[in-house]
Amino acid sequence: MSDLDIYRHQGFATPMGLGQAPAVLIIDFVHGFTDPDHFGGGNIGPAIERTVELLALARARGWPVAHTRVVYADDGSDGGPFALKVPALLTLTETSPLSQIVPELTPVAGEAVFRKQHASAFFGTGLAPWMASRRVDTVLVAGCTTSGCVRASVIDASAHGLRPIVVTDCVGDRALGPHEANLFDMGQKYADLMDLDALREAVSRNAAPG
C-alpha cells in the first residue's frame, strides 16, 4: 500500500472547495527570500512570478489582499525562539532592504501589510480580525517558505475557521524536498491544493464570486 493509499483509506484529503468570500494572503515575498545567500533559493523566484498573476486576479475580482513581512526591532529585543534557531532572521528590520516586499508585488491602497516575528501570519498580528471584519471564509495562500511560514499560516487559518487553499505554483521553498513534502501533508490534512490555472477555472465557473 502506497503512502497515498494509506491516507485515502483513512479518509484524508476531502476537498473543502472555494467558499463565497475569498481573500489572498501573500506571505513574506520580500527581497531576503529571493536571494540564496540569505533565505531564498529553490523555486521561490518562479512562485513570485506566478503570484504576480494571482495578485492581478485578486485585484480584478475585488478580493481582500493581505501581505506579510518578517520584521524585528533594530535591537532584536522582540526576537524569540524562532530567531534563536535562525539568528540571521534578526537582520530583517523595518528599514532593511531584505525585509522589503519585492517590487512586482508592491501593495496598493486598500491592501493590508502585517508585520510578524513568528512563522504564522496569524500569530501576534491583526490578520484574523482583519479577515473576520471582511467576512472572509476562504484564504488563497501564496508565499514562502512552503515548509515554514506557509504551513504555519495554513494551520492557523484552519484553526480560525477559514478554508485554506494553497495556490501550489504561488508558494516556494529554498529546497524542493520540503516544499513537496509539505504540500502533500497540507493537502491531506489542512488545505485544498490548487494551481493558479485551476483557480482561474473555478472562478470562471462562479465557484467563488467576488
Active site residues: 149
C-alpha cell at position 41: 533559493
* Rounded Cα–Cα distance for residues 140 and 51 (Å): 11
DSSP one-letter string for 161-206: T-EEEEEEEEEE-SSHHHHHHHHHHHHHHT-EEE-HHHHHHHHHTT
* Rounded Cα–Cα distance for residues 139 and 191 (Å): 10
CA angle centred on 26, ends 175 and 120, rounded to 5°: 75
- Of the candidates 114, 116, 141, the one whose C-alpha atom is nearest the C-alpha of residue 47 is 141
CA distances, 82 to each of 23, 29, 109 (Å): 27, 18, 31
* Rounded Cα–Cα distance for residues 7 and 88 (Å): 37
CA angle centred on 27, ends 26 and 31, rounded to 5°: 105
> Given CA atoms 63, 124, 107, 103 in this order, what sign does their dihedral have?
negative
DSSP state of 75: T
